[in-house]
Structure 1
Amino acid sequence: MMSTKVLTSLVVLCCLSAVWAMPGDLVLMKDGISMGAVCLDGTPPGYYFRPGSGSGRSKLIMHMEGGGWCYNEDDCVGRSKTNLGSSKNWGPTASFNGFLSDDPQLNPLFYNWTLVFLKYCDGASFAGNVDKVVNWKDTDLHFRGFRILDLAVESVKSIANFSEVILTGCSAGGLATYIHTDYVASKFPGATFHAIADAGYFIDANNVNGEPLIRKEYQYVFKMQNCAGGVNQDCVKDLSPKGEEWKCFFPQYTEPYIKNKLFGLNSQYDTWQLGNILQLPCNPPKCTPDQMKLLENFGKEFLEAAADFIAGDSRGFFFDSCLHHCQSLGGEWTNIMVNGQRANETFATWYYEGSGSGSGREVDCAYPCNHSC
């Protein structure tokens, strides 16, 4: 149970800045090469590791990095030459903020937990698994994201016998959290397991012209990288007779199958989704009345898509109406408020099963109502 003192400390974190931080060290999983668990360009995958301290040594936060997807082979060739497709230029250390901070002033409940920050280099939210190397325009591509995830989990399990595990991720890593929660949980059978998906609830919605652009893009990624074996298998089992396995790449279709405890952290007006799914041709509030109507309708679509999530007994959520994308890694984690609760407070209340002043399940009013944005 959380103490009143700790809960009070959560409230006053909004204006503090980190005064110190211990970076995580890069661990390259070179043994993955022989197992075919490699980045797009064939280099070894890896993660940043920061050991826990005190009681946090036996507690794990495993964060999956985000960074979009490569939507076709040409796109993947370009991505394979960047840090999102190759480990060649990853730095030896990295520091983290927000929910991943090791500053007890900023992150009093989780600062001393062991941290694994899994680098993203496969382009399909750690879901792809194509046996053969794909040669595209004289470039070899390796679609092996699910093998990377599997290798990482086995590597992490060798660190300690963890009693508590939180799986998390932002953006494409947030989507990865939805599609991999049950799989990763199955690898830690003796641990208390929770997941928090940040800005990963990408909805199956049309753009401003009524075109299902994101659906087509996800369908191609799903097929190109052979993702059917790397998403929730209960979802695949139900949808494969209809040839709709690709739906399991969307949170709204896969979430009802997730058995483990899950917290959703998302803006109803996520800026990435406004620009890339809705393709809104303006920056709110500098939009025409017709464009603002499109924005309003998208927020309604988001809540409709998340209806099952909101109704779930084992679910927690913080769905605000601010214009942003990802919040657990920065100031939004402690600044934005919904119904008098901040995101970090809402998650803590849910995680510790109602020990806080809120419900652990907060849904905001419609844009632009929230003055904490």
Structure 2
Amino acid sequence: MGSHNPAIWMYLFIFALSTALLSLAVVAKALDVTFVANAVQKGAVCLDGSPAAYYFSPGFGSGVNNWVVHMEGGGWCSNEEDCVERKSNFRGSSKDSGQMSFSGILGSSQQSNPGFYNWNKVKVRYCDGSSFTGDIEAVDPAKHVFYRGSRIWFAIVDELLAKGMNKAQNALLSGCSAGGLASILHCDKFRDLLPSTTKVKCFSDAGFFINAKDISGVERIKAFFEDVVVTHGSAKNLPASCTARLPPSLCFFPQYVVQTLRTPLFVLNAAYDAWQIKNILAPSSSDSSGAWRKCKLDIKACSSAQSQTIQGFRAEFLNAVSGLQSSPSAGLFIDSCHAHCQSGRQAVWLDSGSTIVDNNPIGKAVADWFYDRTASKLIDNCSYPCNPSCHDVADDS
């Protein structure tokens, strides 16, 4: 009789509703920026000399000793002129860092992020233009540009260790786009800075940039990355296991770094990465006639010849990540979407309509891999637009 009591049902309904609203409130909570203590004195500064910064949401419950450190994306500056321009906006400065809300892999709702919802969550502000690899002491008094990305990264990690990450049971270094590249380049360093007892893994979202020729046959991205490395003095901060074998500029490409990576890595990437198609395959500098202008923004608008070229680029990408398929510790989620950065949006990460491969949403695949429940090597074996669950997103860094 008691189970049919209307008062009890009303209580349960109100409890469920209040729990759901509380969950939404946690997800939507706006966080203030945290500036690294004594960052300027340490030289851990953005291009414009403003201090290193990050956003922090403390862990709770069973997640108090678990950490996910996520690095923002936002491209690179490859010469002094570009870096001078960049320091005048939020990509090169922390001065105007407003509030931020977390979602996706940084979300705090158990239902929408069961693998990491109650972990300590950090989003690192990206303001150096080198994927946190630069470190040049000298500063031109006229241009007043600081190339200190590596110092930013170490200063933030040091502060997080002091905040309790030195007691971490589990830790995940992640990032999107240029931050996703940084999660690969700094992966083993992150492992080495944490206790030997900590379970440490790395996660790269849209950070697997490949060394490919553009539509005119020019190795433009290779030359661009070489300029980034030289401008920022990055060579000494790239993985030594790679630079011992190859020129430093090649060690800015994940395909050469992952061959000797010691720490488990999960790569999430669209096979038709929107940024790579637009900037590596068909950059405007190689398309003076504008023939690729519509195609690279919308694959459905491509001619048959352009589609064939794009399919070739997908094949190149799959070949570049093929080494990870045979690695027992690696995870892969390669969808046939035209997207860039898929872990920060709840609708894509883990939701009723999120992107799936082999019936696995991204959030579940990454959590299953981290907790060693399954190897999670998921690859769409079909060409665009074969996956109806795709969310074609341009950027969510």
Normalised by the size of structure 1, how large is the TM-score?
0.90
Q: What is the match of residue 5 of structure 1? A: none
**2:44/2:151 contact within 8 Å kept:** yes
Q: What is the match of residue 10 of structure 1? A: none
- RMSD over equivalenced CA pairs, Å: 1.5
Q: Does 1:183 align with 2:198?
A: no
* Deviation >6 Å, runs of 4+: none
Q: 2:222 aligns with which of 199, 212, 215?
A: 215
> What is the one-letter code of the residue matched to 1:323?
H
Q: Secondary structure at the match of 1:195?
A: strand
Q: What is the match of residue 11 of structure 2? A: none
Q: Does 1:49 align with 2:56?
A: yes
Q: What is the match of residue 89 of structure 1? A: 96
Q: Distance in 2 between matches of 1:128 and 1:361?
A: 33
> What is the one-letter code of the residue matched to 1:212?
E
Equivalent positions of 1:77-226 (< 5 A) are 77-91=84-98, 93-135=99-141, 138-160=142-164, 161-189=167-195, 190-226=197-233
Q: What is the match of residue 326 of structure 1? A: 341
Tell me which moved more, 149-158 or 222-231. 222-231
Q: What is the match of residue 367 of structure 1? A: 384
Normalised by the size of structure 2, how large is the TM-score?
0.85
Tell me the CA shift for residue 342 of structure 1. Answer: 1.3
Tell me the CA shift for residue 332 of structure 1. Answer: 1.7
Q: Secondary structure at the match of 1:19?
A: helix
**1:23/1:50 contact within 8 Å kept:** no
Q: Secondary structure at the match of 1:176?
A: helix
Unaligned 5+ residue runs, structure 1? 1-15
Percent of residue pairs bearing the same amino acid type: 38
Tell me the CA shift for residue 105 of structure 1. Answer: 2.1
**1:25/1:50 contact within 8 Å kept:** no
Q: Does 1:354 align with 2:373?
A: yes
Q: What is the match of residue 69 of structure 2? A: 62
Q: Distance in 1 between matches of 2:207 and 2:94?
A: 24
Q: Secondary structure at the match of 1:197?
A: strand
Q: What is the match of residue 296 of structure 1? A: 311
Q: Distance in 2 between matches of 1:329 and 1:212?
A: 31
CA deviation digits over 1:87-108, x for unaligned, max 9? 11111x3111111111222112
Tell me the CA shift for residue 30 of structure 1. Answer: 4.1
Tell me which moved more, 30-39 or 151-160. 30-39
Q: Distance in 2 between matches of 1:134 and 1:101?
A: 41
Q: What is the match of residue 41 of structure 2? A: 34
Q: Distance in 2 between matches of 1:256 and 1:363?
A: 20
Q: What is the match of residue 328 of structure 2? A: 313
> What is the one-letter code of the residue matched to 2:252?
F
Tell me the CA shift for residue 348 of structure 1. Answer: 1.8
Q: 1:248 aligns with which of 238, 248, 251?
A: 251
Q: Distance in 2 between matches of 1:117 and 1:228?
A: 25
Q: What is the match of residue 263 of structure 2? A: 260
> What is the one-letter code of the residue matched to 1:143?
Y
Please tell me whether Structure 1 or Structure 2 has the larger radius of gyration of its CA atoms: 2
CA deviation digits over 1:267-305, x for unaligned, max 9? 010000010000154121111100000110000000111
> What is the one-letter code of the residue matched to 1:19?
L
Q: Secondary structure at the match of 2:185?
A: helix
Q: Distance in 2 between matches of 1:56 and 1:313?
A: 26
Q: Secondary structure at the match of 2:318?
A: helix
Q: Distance in 2 between matches of 1:328 and 1:193?
A: 19
CA deviation digits over 1:156-185, x for unaligned, max 9? 001112111010000000000110000011
Q: Secondary structure at the match of 1:140?
A: coil
CA deviation digits over 1:119-162, x for unaligned, max 9? 00100000011111135xx3211000001101111000011121
Q: Secondary structure at the match of 2:244?
A: helix
Q: Secondary structure at the match of 1:234?
A: helix
**2:136/2:146 contact within 8 Å kept:** yes
Q: Secondary structure at the match of 1:169?
A: strand
Tell me which moved more, 185-194 or 175-184. 185-194
> What is the one-letter code of the residue matched to 1:140?
H
Tell me the CA shift for residue 109 of structure 1. Answer: 2.2
**2:132/2:150 contact within 8 Å kept:** yes
Unaligned 5+ residue runs, structure 2? 1-19, 283-291, 391-397
Tell me the CA shift for residue 204 of structure 1. Answer: 0.4
**1:41/1:85 contact within 8 Å kept:** yes
**1:267/1:324 contact within 8 Å kept:** yes
Q: Distance in 2 between matches of 1:344 and 1:134?
A: 45
Tell me which moved more, 117-126 or 334-343. 334-343
CA deviation digits over 1:70-121, x for unaligned, max 9? 1221111111011111111111x31111111112221122111101111001
Q: Distance in 2 between matches of 1:180 and 1:231?
A: 8
Aligned length: 348
> What is the one-letter code of the residue matched to 1:363?
I
**1:316/1:360 contact within 8 Å kept:** yes
Q: Distance in 1 between matches of 2:238 and 2:119?
A: 27
Q: 2:355 aligns with which of 307, 329, 336?
A: 336
Tell me the CA shift for residue 368 of structure 1. Answer: 2.2
**1:232/1:257 contact within 8 Å kept:** no
